[in-house]
Amino acid sequence: MTCPSPPAPKPGDYTAELIRLLPTSVSLDPSVAAEDAGLLSTLSNILHGSHTQSPSVMAQTNLVLCLVRRILSQNVDMSNLAEQVLDLLRKALGCARSMVEDCCPWHQVANVPFHIICVLLIMDTRSSLAMLPDAIQTVGLVASIYDTETMREAKRTAYLLVLLHQQRRKDDLAVFSKALADNQPEPRMDVPSHNPTSFSNSDDHAWLEALVADLPSLRDADLDEFLNTDMTGGPLFLGA
């Protein structure tokens, strides 16, 4: 006995789009091991799939979120696909809002925006974090329409996750501030004689501001690229 062929697409019907996602969904069973290259290839294929209706986009996004979390948990580099992932997540948030406003009963309207927040925090890039206001607003909108204890708890948890991430960043900034305060650079020896010998904090950093002004290209320098580049010209890999 053979399985029947997938239904042919019909205008306005996204059944075939959902069915195409099933094999990948089955392959993500936690008991099934997956190669890094296979996960990236699968993610790329799902991202490039055609999904024309909002519920279909939500199902596509749900699968992408599962793939991304597994990829990131295994420390696999997905930087080549990161922007495509963010584009889809942004699209899914818009779909969630429109579906809620239209009172469309689709369960992924509730869980997908919440898990988008989790993935944005895990990705932890400037581009991903810039999407947090949109994602938080979407979760709040869903909770206001579907006023259940589960959604209220999801909203509270989402706020708490972002708050904890913010606090961690504040702690990091405090470390940087202390490092700079404890290690002020020595003033230049060629300062004019009429300047006082005791310099203010702004004077201490005047030499740095002058350097940046003299070298405009420093303003556009990629700090991450600089920190991860070996001074001999090759990439610097930290850790084993």
pTM tops 0.75, yes or no: no
On whether residue 88 sits in a domain, the answer given is yes
On whether residue 124 sits in a domain, the answer given is yes
pLDDT value at residue 65? 95
pLDDT value at residue 135? 97
pLDDT value at residue 239? 40
pLDDT value at residue 12? 63
- Residues spanned by the domain of 120: 15-171
On whether residue 31 sits in a domain, the answer given is yes
On whether residue 111 sits in a domain, the answer given is yes
On whether residue 226 sits in a domain, the answer given is no
d(CA 18, CA 57): 9
On whether residue 184 sits in a domain, the answer given is no
On whether residue 36 sits in a domain, the answer given is yes
CB of 63 closer than 8 Å to CB of 24: yes
Per-residue model confidence as pLDDT tens for the chain (240 residues)? 455 565 566 666 677 777 888 888 877 777 666 666 788 999 999 999 888 889 999 999 999 999 999 999 888 899 999 999 999 999 999 999 999 999 887 789 989 999 999 999 999 999 999 999 999 999 999 999 999 999 999 999 999 999 999 998 888 888 988 888 877 776 666 555 555 444 445 554 554 555 445 555 544 555 445 444 444 444 443 343
On whether residue 23 sits in a domain, the answer given is yes
CA distances from 70 to 78, 93, 121 (A): 11, 21, 15
Tally of structural domains, the chain: 1
| Sign of the four-CA dihedral 63, 66, 67, 69 | positive
Could you tell me which residues are beta bridge partners of residue 229? 235
CA distances from 231 to 212, 222, 239 (A): 21, 15, 17
pLDDT value at residue 7? 57
pLDDT value at residue 196? 47
